[in-house]
Amino acid sequence: MLTVSVKWQKELLKAVEIDTSQPPYVFKCQLYDLTGVPPERQKIMVKGGLLKDDADWSTVGLKQGQKLMMMGTADEVVKAPEKGPVFMEDLPEEEQVVSLGHSAGLFNLGNTCYMNSTVQCLHSVPELKSSLVKYSHSGRNNDVDQTSHMLTIATRDLFGELDKSVKPVAPMQFWTLLRKKYPQFGQLHNGAFMQQDAEECWTQLLYTLSQPLRSAGSSENIDTVKDLFGIDLASRIHCQESGEETSETESVYSLKCHISQEVNRLHEGLKHALKSELEKASPALGRSAIYLKESRINGLPRYLTIQFVRFFWKRESNQKAKILRKVDYPLELDVYDLCSDELRKQLEGPRQILRDEEGKKLGLKANEKSSSSKDDDVKMIDGEGSSNASGESTVTTSQEGVPSDKETRLTGIYDLVAVLTHKGRSADSGHYVAWVKQESGKWIEFDDDNPIPQREEDIVKLSGGGDWHMAYICMYKARTVLM
């Protein structure tokens, strides 16, 4: 770690720390926070010319206490006119975010697109943000290690920055703590940080948040992350040779979509993944035998995450190869037929109510004068509506203003709200991007620090079949009813 001073215009920035284990682009992001000069406009004079984003610090020859010269103009700060109309640029930054309709992008700190896209997808879950806001520095209990506690704080703070800023955010603190908690994300190759697997980052981050956010801000024992993302599976394990049969249950954060020559659609891949063969010791036969494992969903979450299993280990090249096959996925996903008999029975009532309510909606459009419904016992919440994170009972208010106990019920029907894509031929290279549906219903492509509006019809075209961006993780939001 070196400390330098930086001369910029009439300012002298003293005691600026440089982490020489990170590329110069990270240093430029620090200067952006201090000066407002975007990294691409910064010209920093060093021995031998200008400092490049990917330069090797060991060849730059910096010394402790050295003074550097930086040239570049900061982003213009638009002053509000004393009179006349108020434009979006004149509003406070937090109000600009609201007017803009989407949150900020994230600077790539050196092959960190896997992390940026994961953060953008999870940042779109309001219930997760709400739970993080309730978590405080002093909220750590004995079951949570210090690194997990600090990574949770960093996630909370980063989500807050994204909501308040219209300019790209440099997630340096979050990235530092992510690497401290999971050193594999800090792997270097030729002095540069390596590309990592976004699904691994997604799973590890949820696993880390699950402990600190358990019962955060509540006296009840609520597992926020499990309620939001956890999927309960009930499995039957059968050996045809010996007739042995056992059962087991497990909780996971995502369903897998297996890809083969027979799989053309997401639903087919999910069915394939819920059936598998495994070899293990058979007590009855006294040797190893083949068992068939058949799983069914026995508990659904608020947000259903699906991973397309596109990467596999290729022994010939000794690396993760990618399956480019096109697999179509829908904007609306119904997983009723993947559920256990017990869960199906629980879903039947809410599904009928949902169908009735959607039928009424269609009817009301034709005759708006009869828009008032006499049936106040049921309220529908679609994929974009608010929902209670626990999935248990929630309190609603009737038209007369009198609180009434209602229970939020899942229907097994989900709406697509985020897609994380990968472009390239290998998991250890290429580029990750997040495509996230906003509260307004508009879709935004978050390509690191560059948010780009997209059309909904183009989102389902990210299904693969070539070298373009293809879906690697899809996140669906539950369509629920209040009963």
One-character DSSP codes across 306-341: EEE--EEEETTTTEEEE-----B--SEEE-GGGB-H
Band the pLDDT of 373: cuts 50, 70, 90: very low
Residue 177: which of 200, 203, 156 has the closest Cα?
A: 156
Please check the confidence at residue 87 and state whether its pLDDT lies above 90.
Answer: no
Tens digits of residue pLDDT in 197-219: 999 999 999 999 998 998 644 55
Contact call for residues 352 and 454 (beta carbons, < 8 A): no
Is 258 among the domain residues?
yes
Percentage of the residues of the chain whose pLDDT score is greater than 70: 84
Handedness of CA 289, 292, 298, 303 (dihedral sign): positive
* Spatial contact of 205 and 155, defined as CB atoms under 8 Å apart: yes
Higher pLDDT, 394 or 75: 75
Whether 273 and 450 have beta carbons less than 8 Å apart is answered as no
Give Cα separations from 366 to 145, 371, 378 (angstroms): 58, 10, 22
What pLDDT score does 91 carry? 54
Q: Are residues 60 and 113 in the same domain?
A: no
242: left (phi over 0), alpha (psi -120 to 50) or beta: alpha
Shared domain check, 412 and 325: yes
Is 387 a residue whose pLDDT tops 70? Answer: no
Tell me the residue range of the domain where 14 lies: 2-71
Mean pLDDT of 322-327: 92
**Exposure b/e, 315-339, CB count within 10 A at least 16 = b:** eeeeebbbbebebbbeeebebeebb
pLDDT of residue 92: 57
Residue 184 sits in a domain whose CATH number is 3.90.70.10
Is 149 part of the annotated catalytic residue set?
no
Tell me whether residue 102 is one of the annotated catalytic residues: no
Question: What is the model's pLDDT at position 52?
Answer: 87
Same domain, 204 and 328: yes
Report the half-sphere exposure of 323 (CA within 13 A, side-chain side).
Answer: 19
Give 188 or 392, the one with higher predicted confidence.
188
Q: What is the mean pLDDT of residues 432-456?
A: 95
Asked if 176 and 17 count as a contact pair (C-beta separation under 8 A), the reply is no
In a domain, 444, yes or no: yes
pLDDT tier at 139 (50, 70, 90 boundaries)? low
Return the pLDDT at 73.
Answer: 87
- 77-91, 263-277, 340-354: which has the minimum mean pLDDT? 77-91
Considering the domain architecture, whether residues 56 and 114 belong to the same structural domain is answered as no
Does residue 33 sit in the same domain as residue 105?
Answer: no
Catalytic annotation, pick one of 29, 102, 113, 474: 113
Tell me, what's the pLDDT at 386?
38
Domain assignment of residue 143, yes or no: yes
Q: What average pLDDT does range 80-89 have in this prediction?
A: 52
Q: Kindly state whether residues 66 and 111 are assigned to the same domain.
A: no
Q: Based on the domain organization, do 53 and 192 belong to the same domain?
A: no
Provide the CA 66 distance to its chain's centre, in angstroms: 41
Same domain for 175 and 308, yes or no, is yes
**125 phi and psi angles, rounded to 5 deg:** -95, 105
In a domain, residue 246? The reply is yes
**Average pLDDT across the chain, whole number:** 85
Q: Percentage of the chain surpassing pLDDT 90? A: 55
How far, CA to CA in Å, does 182 sit from each of 128, 157, 195? Answer: 21, 19, 14
Q: Are residues 109 and 7 in the same domain?
A: no
For the residues 163-186, what does the mean pLDDT come to?
Answer: 95
Note whether 161 and 35 are same-domain residues: no
- Name the catalytic one among 238, 239, 272, 431: 431
Which of the two residues, 386 and 269, has the higher pLDDT score?
269
Q: Is residue 44 a part of any domain in this protein?
A: yes
**pTM for this predicted structure:** 0.77
Residue 30: band (very low, low, confident or very high) from pLDDT cuts 50, 70, 90: confident
pLDDT of residue 257: 97
Q: CB within 8 A of 243, min separation 6: which ones?
A: 284
Q: What is the CATH number of the domain that holds 47?
A: 3.10.20.90
Q: Decide: 329 and 266 in contact? Cβ < 8 Å.
A: yes
pLDDT at res. 385:
41
Answer yes or no: is pLDDT of 38 > 90. no
Find the mean pLDDT for residues 46-70: 86
Measured between alpha carbons, how far is 65 from 407 in angstroms, rounded to an integer? Answer: 63
CA distances to 124, 204, 219, 300, 342 from 227, rounded to whole Å, are: 16, 17, 16, 9, 19
Q: What is residue 375's predicted lDDT score, i.e. its pLDDT?
A: 44
Whether the predicted pLDDT of 476 surpasses 50: yes
Residues 181 and 242 in one domain: yes
Q: Residue 22 above 90 pLDDT?
A: no
**Residue 286 forms part of a structural domain:** yes
**What is the total count of domains within the chain?**
2
Report pLDDT for 393.
39
